[in-house]
Amino acid sequence: MSVFELAYDYRNFFLSGLKYTLLLAVMGVFFGFVLGIAVSLLRMSKWRILRFIATAWVEFLRGTPMLVQLFLIHYGLPEFGISLSPIQSGAITLTINSSAYLAEIFRAGIQGVDRGQMEAARSLGMKQGMTMRYIILPQALKNVLPAIGNEFITIIKESSIVSMIGVADLLFEARTITTITYEGLSPLVVIAVMYFVLTFTLSKLLGILERRLNTDDRG
């Protein structure tokens, strides 16, 4: 059976895996985005204990393999009476891992905004929270948008680890097809092409968006 024949005959398996891969990637980046902003603000807090907690969060998640984090959540939490489905465990793992990297991206973006804008806003009577929300964060997010997109691409690729706990993503479905057809290479070739198409397309879209933002800035 050729690669093309296998891809067509088992298209429902591949499409089902694609659905879960995209679902987990979107959830990981979206919730990681929200959590990452919170962690980045904590890292710049005036309270030392909050800075310590946020720093420990970032350093631990960036310094340990995502697979270990996945196993800790899926197999470790039941020891404390918290049982999660494979989808939930995968989504939580991708979220917290993404949040650590996004937190550093946001922190760099916030610190890259001219401090004079903060001072100008404060001189106009705006409180720190309002200044951060309406002045600093919008500019910081615009500056780091390409990096956020790159994190999305990374999460799409790294989401394949969830197959280790039984989530029916692309890799899981490829292994399922292998057990049915005894074709070891062809299913992997198909999902490799699917991953490439996803990441390449997203990369090109991000490039277009970045150029458009740069054009708006020059205008």
> Domain ranges in the chain?
3-218
pLDDT of residue 213: 74
Q: What is the pLDDT of residue 217?
A: 61
CA–CA dist 147, 109 (Å, integer): 10
Q: Can you give the pLDDT at residue 139? A: 83
pLDDT of residue 219: 54
Predicted confidence at residue 218, as pLDDT, reads 59
182-187 long-range contacts (CB < 8 A, ≥24 apart) are: 183/1, 183/6, 186/1, 186/2, 186/3, 186/6, 187/6, 187/10
- Stretches in the chain below the pLDDT threshold 50: none
Q: What is the pTM of this model?
A: 0.89
Contacts 24+ apart (CB under 8 A), 204-210: 206/145, 206/146, 206/149, 206/150, 209/145, 209/146, 209/149, 210/145, 210/146
In percent, the amount of the chain with pLDDT more than 70 equals: 98
Q: Give dist(CA 170, CA 190) in Å, integer.
A: 9
**3-218 CATH pick, 1.20.120.1200, 3.20.20.30, 1.20.1440.230, 1.10.3720.10:** 1.10.3720.10
Provide the pLDDT for residue 135: 81
70-79: Cβ within 8 A, 24+ apart: 70/161, 70/162, 70/164, 70/165, 71/164, 71/165, 74/165
